[in-house]
Amino acid sequence: MTKKEKITNILVCGVGGQGVLLLSDLLAEIAMNEGLDVKKSEVHGMAQRGGSVTSHIRFGKKVYSPLITEGNADFIVSLEKLETLRYLHFLSPNGVLLSDNLIVEPLPVIIGLQEMPKDINERIKNRVKKFYLIDAFAKAKELGNTRVQNMIMLGALSNFLDFTPDTYHQAIRKNVKAKFVDINIKAFETGVGLV
Amino acid sequence: MPKVLLSGDEAVARGAYEAGCKVATAYPGTPSTEILENMAQYREIYSEWSTNEKVAFEVALGAALAGARSLVAMKHVGLNVAADPLFSSAYIGVKAGFVIVSADDPGLHSSQNEQDNRFYGLFAKIPVLCPSDSQEAKDFVKLAFDLSEQFDIPVLIRLTTRVAHSKSVVNLEDRVEHPVKGYEKVKEKTILLPQFARLRHYSLEERLQKLAEYAETTPINRYEPGQKSIGVIADGVAYQYAKEVFPKASFLKLGMVHPFPKNLVKNFGQKVKRLLVVEEVDPFLELQIKALGLKAIGKDALPKVDELNPRIVQNSLYPEKKIELKPETDVPARPPLLCPGCPHTGLFYALQRQNIIIGGDIGCYTLGALAPHNTMDTCICMGASITFVHGVEKALGKEDKRRKIAVIGDSTFFHMGVPGLINVAYNRGNIVTIVVDNRTTGMTGHQDHPGTGKTLLGETTKALDIAAIAKACGIEKVYTVDPYKIKETKSLVRKVLAEEGPAVIISSRPCALLATKNPSKQVLADRCNGCKLCLSLGCPAIEIAEGKAIINEAFCVGCGMCVEVCARGAIL
Chain A residues in contact with B368 by the CB 8 A cut-off are none
Closest-CA residue in chain A for B3?
A32
Mean pLDDT over residues B390-395, rounded? Answer: 98
The Cα of A189 is separated from the nearest Cα of chain B by a number of Å equal to 24
Distance (Å, rounded) from C-alpha A3 to C-alpha B64? 50
Give the tens place of pLDDT for each residue, B457-492: 999 999 999 999 999 999 999 999 999 999 999 999
Report the pLDDT averaged over residues B359-369.
95
Q: pLDDT-derived band of residue A113, with 50, 70 and 90 as boundaries?
A: confident
- Residue B511's nearest CA partner among A134, A182, A49, A94 is A49
In which order are the strands placed within the sheet that holds B274-278?
A: B221-224, B249-254, B227-235, B274-278
Instruction: Decide if B429 contacts B500 (C-beta within 8 A).
Output: no
Q: Out of A30-34, B177-181, B424-428, B544-548, pick the least confident.
A: B544-548
Asked if residue B69 has pLDDT above 70, the reply is yes
Name every chain B residue with its beta carbon within 8 A of the beta carbon of A99. Answer: none
Contact B34 A39 (CB under 8 A): no
Mean pLDDT of B251-268: 98
Of A48, A67, A106, the CB nearest to B333: A106
- pLDDT at position A76 over 90: yes
Banded pLDDT at A111 (limits 50, 70, 90): confident
**pLDDT for position A1:** 38
Least confident of B63-72, B432-441, B549-558: B549-558
Candidate from B309, B331, B540 with C-beta closest to A86? B331
pLDDT at A2 over 50: no
Chain B closest CA to A194's CA: distance in Å?
24
Instruction: Check CB contact under 8 Å for A44 and B34.
Output: yes
Mean per-residue pLDDT, B332-355? 93
Give the residue among A36, A40, A37 at the shortest CA–CA distance from A11.
A40
A37 with B169: Cβ contact below 8 A: yes
Q: Are strands B432-437 and B403-409 parallel, antiparallel or unpaired?
A: parallel
* A141 reaches B (C-beta below 8 A): no
Tell me phi and psi for residue B421, to 5 degrees.
-70, -40
Chain A residue numbers with beta carbons less than 8 Å from the beta carbon of B365 are none
For all residues of chain B together, what is the average pLDDT? Answer: 97
Average pLDDT over residues A131-159: 97
Q: How many CB atoms are closer than 10 A to CB B72? A: 34
Q: How confident is the model at residue B248 (pLDDT cuts 50, 70, 90)?
A: very high
Whether A118 and chain B come into contact, CB under 8 Å, resolves to no
By C-alpha distance, the chain A residue nearest B167 is A40
HSE-CB for A107 with a 13 A CA cutoff: 25
What integer is the mean pLDDT of B203-219?
98
pLDDT digits (tens, 9 = 90+) for B500-556: 999 999 999 999 999 999 999 999 999 999 999 999 999 989 989 899 999 988 889
List of residues 6+ apart from B232 with CB closer than 8 A: B242, B246, B249, B250, B251, B252, B276, B277, B278
Q: Are B71 and B24 in contact (CB under 8 A)?
A: yes
Confidence of residue A44 (pLDDT cuts 50, 70, 90): low
The DSSP symbol for B460 reads B
| Distances in whole angstroms, Cα of residue B254 to Cα of each of A3, B221, B223, B386 | 33, 4, 9, 43
What is the reported pLDDT for A51? Answer: 84
Distance from CA of B377 to the nearest CA of A (A): 20
The answer to whether B540 contacts A41, with C-beta atoms less than 8 Å apart, is no
Q: Which of residues 40-99 of A touch B (CB under 8 A)?
A: 40-46, 48-52, 63-67, 69-71, 82-83, 85-89
Angle, alpha carbons A149-A153-A156 (nearest 5°): 140
Shortest Cα–Cα distance, B549 to chain A (Å): 10
Which parts of B218-321 fold into alpha helices (H)? Answer: 236-245, 262-271, 284-291, 310-317
User: What percentage of chain B carries pLDDT values higher than 70?
Assistant: 100
pTM of the model: 0.96
In tens, the pLDDT along B271-318 reads 999 999 999 999 999 999 999 999 999 999 999 999 999 999 999 999
- Interface check for A137 against chain B (CB to CB < 8 A): the answer is no
Chain B interface, best mutation among A15, A36, A49, A89, by max B CB count within 10 A: A49
Q: pLDDT digits over B132-152, tens only?
A: 999 999 999 999 999 999 999
**Inter-residue contact B386 to B414 (CB < 8 Å):** no
Chain B residues in contact with A28 (beta carbon < 8 A): 5, 167
% chain B with pLDDT above 90: 96
The complex's ipTM works out to 0.94
Distance from CA of A109 to the nearest CA of B (A): 7
Do the chains contact at A111 and B334, CB–CB below 8 Å? Answer: no
Give the C-alpha separation, B550 to B525, whole Å. Answer: 8
